[in-house]
Amino acid sequence: MTIQTIGGGLSLNPSLKPIELNARAGLKTMAWLLAAGVLAVVLHELFRWPLRMPGRHGLEWMAILIFARTGSTYRWAGTVTAFGAASASLLPLAGAIEPLAAASYWITGVIVDLLYRADKQWRRYAFYLALIAAAAHSVRPVLNWIELFYLGVEHHSLTSGLWYPVSTHFGFGFIGGLAGAVLAGFSQRRHRFFYR
């Protein structure tokens, strides 16, 4: 605050610059997080992994989600990133045919945020972050199972039962999460890559 003399009297003139700068940084952070989610959906459509295993796109999705989660101090960074992915998956260009595809992105982000915030000490370790990613990515086949039994939507990944896709989703999620955590660690040594 500054004090100014106007006509012989004192007047307080509050400066809004710190508030404005904080709001701009917050908007910039949100934009980065949403863009990270959109990027995950774009990469899902562009990458055609030669692997014929369910959950293989967890490699890029979990890497991006964990990178975004650990790169921001915003408490719901994973959820915002997942909201960007969920929104992008609803576009016709994304080619998502599963009714719960958008929900699975969003739920994954919420799980990552909750597990990330559950333990401040362990979240510094890449292995723990990879386990968070693996657990969150493993929810996708469970949602596919719900679609099959309650909505009648067939999923090729469920032909051999539920445990096989859960295990492959867990594995790919772990590898993707580990990659995202390692990249985030390298980036954080230099500077914080998301603004808040």
Provide, for the chain, the percentages of residues in helix, strand and coil under a 3-state DSSP scheme, each rounded to the nearest 5.
70, 5, 25
Q: How confident is the model at residue 63 (pLDDT cuts 50, 70, 90)?
A: very high
| Type and span of the H or E element at 135 | helix 126-137
**Average pLDDT value for the chain:** 78
For the question of whether the overall pTM of this predicted structure is more than 0.85, the answer is no
Give phi and psi for 96, each to the nearest 5.
Answer: -75, 125
Return the pLDDT at 179.
Answer: 95
Highest mean pLDDT range out of 6-15, 24-33, 96-105?
24-33
Q: Which residue has the higher pLDDT, 71 or 18?
A: 71
Amino acid (1-letter code) at residue 138 = S
What's the count of helices (H) and strands (E) in the chain, helices before strands? 7, 2
Q: Which residue has the higher pLDDT, 174 or 94?
A: 174
Question: What letter does residue 151 receive in the DSSP assignment?
Answer: I
